[in-house]
Structure 1
Amino acid sequence: MEDVLTTEAKLLCGALATGHALIGVKSTAALTVNGKPVLVKSSFRSPDFPCANQGSAGGKCSTFSLTAGTSTVLKVNNEPVVLATIAATIGPAGTLIKVDAGQSILHVKS
């Protein structure tokens, strides 16, 4: 069983080698945990968060591709929720690092 991510999840972009930027992802999902919407797959469709290497010229993400961590069991409006097993590649040159799911109440089979 894996924790479902909410908007309180702590996710970092590990870009290159010198720093990590916190990623703030928004969601309007009807399902909430402690009043915070869960993250669904579409929460990551249009990256609009800083994820550049803190030591570089940086900028915003240009691509964000989930490679793992969506539920095959729990969906909101027919869209899979995102789990603590999340993995992604982030462009131009980053990888996703999950620090905290943002909640520990709702657990789902992946």
Structure 2
Amino acid sequence: MALRLAPNLLRSLRLTSVRAMSQVGGFGEGAGKGGGAGGSIRDAGGSFGKMEAAHEEEYFRKLNAAHMEEIKKHHKEEMEAHIRDNIEHLEANVKSAEEAIKRHKKRLAELRKDDSDSD
């Protein structure tokens, strides 16, 4: 009896090894074949494993896109705040310069008045 089972056992082992070699990695094609141990559906491989892997990839792409949008929004807000600060600083400098010009013109007028009075 054992001799009769041996050929069947050898044939099943041979088919298993051929099957394992024929599945060259791809996401969702079973554990250890590119998809890793991602749960029972992905471990089993086949169409459902591939579909699950595709859903997982889509989820992470969307998550990454949302994260990038947040970064862009934050960067835009930071740039706007920086530009507003620069504008305020420059406006303060302009105001200060205008006040200095008025002071100097007044002083110049006083000096001219003093020169005309002394003549």
Instruction: Give TM-score, length-normalised by structure 1.
Output: 0.18
- With a CA cutoff of 8 Å and minimum separation of 6, indicate the structure with the bigger relative contact order: 1
Between Structure 1 and Structure 2, which shows a larger proportion of strand residues?
1
> Rg larger in 1 or in 2?
2
